[in-house]
Amino acid sequence: MAFPPKSMADFGEFGKLFANMKMPATPDMEAFIAASRKNIETLTAANRVALEGAQAVARRHMEIMQQSMGELTEAVRAMSSMEAPQAKAARQAELLKHAYETAVSNMKEIGDLIQHSNAEAVKLLNTRFVEALDEVKALADKSKA
């Protein structure tokens, strides 16, 4: 076989395969750029939601810590009073119960804040993903015509 080949026929069966193949239409660059812009905007929005959620969690965590310190100070003050040992034990049990219930409630609240923030960010990404698939389908349909 001479090199370079003069035609696809010079490649034999391999050349026939390529000769019959249709090349895809060139992509619509405006649509591609618009889709890329939407993708970046969606990622930016999802990151903003996640950051705002993290800030809300940090802010609430700080509030909980301040509240806990105030309650601890009050508990120490209350426990330093002169009481009968049985009354002191009952008060300690009540303070411990309250501290436990508050901690569980606070953990649930923080968990709910995180879950809400994550769900909102994922919803943005999922919506854009579905839109992008619809855009790809529309471009494929357009290239068939």
- Has residue 67 got a pLDDT over 70? yes
pLDDT digits (tens, 9 = 90+) for 43-63: 999 999 999 999 999 999 999
- Has residue 103 got a pLDDT over 60? yes
Taking residue 111's Cβ as centre, other Cβ atoms within 10 Å add up to 11
Taking residue 28's Cβ as centre, other Cβ atoms within 10 Å add up to 14
pTM of the model: 0.66
- Has residue 27 got a pLDDT over 70? no
Taking residue 138's Cβ as centre, other Cβ atoms within 10 Å add up to 12
pLDDT score for 22 = 57
**Residue 145 vs residue 89, higher pLDDT:** 89
Share in percent of the chain as helix, strand, coil (round to 5): 85, 0, 15
Ordered DSSP codes for 70-89: HHHHHHHHHHTS---HHHHH
The tokens for 123 are: 């919803």
- With beta carbons less than 8 A apart as the criterion, state whether 60 and 109 touch: yes
